Every structure is written in C-alpha cells, then in structure tokens.
Amino acid sequence: MSDKQQTDATFPNPVIAGFHPDPSVCRVGDDYYVVCSSFEYFPGIPVFHSRDLVHWTQIGNALDRPSQLQLPPDMASSRGIYAPTLRHHDGRFWLVVTNVREGGGNMLFTASDPAGPWSDPVRLPGVHGIDPDLAWDEDGTCWCTVAGVWQVRLDPHTGETSGTPHKLWSGGPDAKAPEAPHLYRIGEYWYLLIAEGGTERGHGVSIARARTPDGPFEPCPDNPILTHRGTDRPIQNTGHADLVQGPDGSWWMMFLAVRPHGGTPGWHVLGRETFLAPVEWVDGWPVIGEVSPDMPAPSWPLVPGPAEAGRDDFDLSELPPQWISVRDRPAEYCTTKERSGWLTLRARGESLDEPDVVFIGRRQQHLECRVRTLIDPAEGRGGLAVRLDEEHHYEIEVSAGEVRVVGRAGSLRTVVGSRSVPVGPVTLGVRIALTPPQDARTGPDTLTLGVEEPDGTFTVLGTLDGRYLSTEVAGGFTGRVIGMYAAEGTVHFDWFDYEPLTP
C-alpha cells in the first residue's frame, strides 16, 4: 500500500462488533490478543487474535469445558462471566475473571497458547470484588486490583493472597461504579486506568499515576480522559478500557461502547461492542483521540484475517468457536455427529422462557442482517430465535405441520402469526432492518419473521419492534444472539446462514 493510500484509508469502529464487552488486550511480539465478557453463555470468554489491532479473528473460547465453567440453571441472565483481564508474563498467558454466581468468585487460568487449551481454574478466595486485574512489578510481585478500587498481593500459582487489601483510588468525586481497573508500568510511573460512572450513558474512563504500584495515586487533571456523556455522538457509553502499544510504538486504547438508534432514549440492540482509539501522551498523561464510526487507519500496513463464514453446513464434528449456548452445552443435547451434515438438538426446557433451553446461536454483529435455517422438526418442536434473555426474545418455530411466530417482552408472551406447512423440512427466516425515523418514539429496528417458500419467496408471519430486544428495555449487560433451539423432542438443522445487509 502506498503512503497516500494508507493516509486515505479508514477502518470501521467497532473493531469487534456485536456483544463483545469489557475488552482486555495483550500484545506478545507482533501478535495481539483480546478477550471479552460472556455472562450466561457457554463456552465462555471469546479469544481474538490480530496482527494490526484493526482486524480480529476469533481463535477460541478460553472456558470451553465444564471443569472450567459452571453456570447453573438458577443463575439469572447477565450474571456469570464478568470482565476478564488477559496478560502475558514469564512466557505464559494469564487470564483472571469473576464468575458472578452463588459459589462462584474470582478465578485464574493459564495457557501457553491463547487459542487453548486453558488450564482448570485456580480459585482466588482472598480476592473479593469483580473486574480483577493482574500486574507484576520489577521484583516479581503480582498485584491483583479489583473494582472498588482495591488491591492485594497475589501468588498467581496458588491463588493465595498476602497482606491486607488496601484502597488505591476510586476515581472522580461522587462518580459511581469505579471498576475495570488496569495497572501498568509506563516510563517512570505506574498508571491506574479505571472505568467510572456506570456502564450506561454516564460511562467514562479516568486515570491516575504513582511512583509505586501500591500508590499513593495522583489523578489526571483532565479526568475523565474518555467519555461521551451528554453528547449526541453516534457512539455512546464509552468506558471499560485497556491500553496497548501499536506495531510502531504508538499507544492505543481498546474500550467498550454502544451504538444506539431510534428515538428517545435511543436503544442499543447489539450489546456493548469493542472499539479502538489512538492515544497521545502529553505531560505524562494519555490524551484520547477522536472516536468515530469511521476512523483514520494507523500508519502500519493492515493485515486482514480470514473472513468469518456466515454459513455453517454442520459438516464438522466440532462447532466453530462463534457458536454459544445458554449456560451449558451437554453433548447429549447438542451434536453434529448423529445425522451427517446436520445439527441435532434435543429439548430440555419447553421454550426460550426457560433458563435451561437447548439453544445454540451466534452474536448479531450487524445493524441489518438476514438469517435463515433449514429445520427438520422430525418428532419435535423448535425453530429460529433472536434472544436477549428469558423474558425478551422473538422466535419462529415449527412442529406438526404448523409454523408460528412467538414474541416475548417482559410479562407478555403472544403468538403473532401462524400458518400450516407441509410435514418435513422447512426454511425459516428473520430479517432485521433499521427503522426509518418518524418521531421521538421510533424504535431502533424492525424484525420480520417468516417462511421461505420452495420458489425462494418469503412469506411474512410477523413484524415486530426491535426496541423490546434492547438493553434499554430489558436491562442487563448482554446483546442479541440469533440461533436455533429445541423446545420439544428432537429437531435437526441442515444449515444456518447469517448474511450482513449493512457493514
């Protein structure tokens, strides 16, 4: 690429779209790795790789077996795996995270390869609080810092703590929710980066520095160094950040934010996504560059990874890492090995209202998309669903020669439309499109659910307002996941196709 082409080039923000919040980034040589929160989904903690900080490819999930991750049915949605920190030290990768559930707590995992396998957990009973961070000082002492912001010495090999936990710094005066701490040695100072203001519209990033990792810390005079609170920018809720150096030695920040659409108050439906912004150092403090949906490309050559496949024909014995399930995925309920070239699901919960529903999906990553699947309901009942949680989901399901669209929003559950279909396989579809603005009450998008006829035409059975599958309505910390489910008996899926209609 010529100098002029590189100067004119841009990249889209977010760099990891869809429900990928709380990014933690780690550089090892010429390679970059990012992990994100996964909450009630299994496998947990998606792991991404990049060579340029812009293009990211998922290479696995760190917590991919029950010995690492237990998410019981009585655990509420938007609990589970919160805010991992990924670091590389002494030739190994270290991952520390909180499992927010009864009997959970903080856990530490290690790996020689971030693609896995990762170790079974080392429990950290002396580390209390969420959003744990790891940092090593010059004499090898490991410091663990948590939301609050509290710090304690930790032996990462045994999980034992030593000394008394002490308070470091809690951000700006009266700022709520000081969390997401990350501690770094940069130049002559130790820097403590935190999020504050809550993960909603008041979210922000602040920083302090000290001569030693345990303080005392001096706050930056220009805190918060990143926030979009009180603005009408298309990217909102900016916070929960991590710092990293680019290939040329420049500094960058990865952080979460959302893209709200529609009228007032604005609804974000994809969840909190991972964004990238440049950083300059001025008088020993980081200054964050402009954050926009279309960013000037960095100075180094961009290295796109392999394009993610939108279609899965279920020809492999193991599912790719993009597929996630609700709380667990026992092999007896989900397999590609029973019918060659098909995904077979066996029902457990009776509907998506149930916390133990057998569901396998992928994150919605585009504001507009079309999703289709060919289902053979066989002796069962199942279909295609757009899920936010047990109380907020839309689905089109088929059984016994009938297909119907069901909508659940809070306490309301209703059949929106239905029709008969021939017994046997049928293609179900969902189309998601942004809603043209009309007034302040206009929702963010519209979901159209229906059946694809043998001649390729699409018969609509229901059209639903997307605001009810948004965080502003449902609450919580996740985003939409689109996939297949079984609600009765056994159902089979020949293929699943996810087609982006906008970037």
| Dihedral angle of Cα 214, 215, 221, 223, to the nearest 10 degrees | 30
Question: Which helix (H) or strand (E) element contains residue 410?
Answer: none
User: What is the separation, in whole angstroms, between the first and last Cα of the chain?
Assistant: 23
Q: Is 155 known to be catalytic?
A: no
C-alpha distance from residue 437 to each of 233, 280, 293 (Å):
17, 38, 20
| Alpha-carbon 223 to chain mean position | 27
In a 13 Å sphere around the CA of 450, the CA atoms on its Cβ side amount to: 15
Token pair recorded at residue 106: 């903080």
Per annotation, catalytic residue among 179, 312, 389, 390: 179
Phi-psi region of 157 (alpha: psi -120 to 50; beta: other; left: phi over 0): alpha
Strand, coil or helix: 73 = coil
- Widest CA span in the chain: 73
Question: Which helix (H) or strand (E) element contains residue 7?
Answer: helix 3-8
Contact predicate 142/156, CB 8 Å:
yes
Q: Is 294 known to be catalytic?
A: no
Per annotation, catalytic residue among 22, 52, 390, 445: 22
> If you write DSSP's letter for every residue of 303-320 in order, what string do you get?
---PPPPSEE---SSS--
Token pair recorded at residue 479: 């985003």
What are the residues facing 47 on neighbouring strands?
Answer: 35, 60
Token pair recorded at residue 13: 């923000």
Report which residue type is found at 295: M
Active-site residues, by number, are: 22, 179
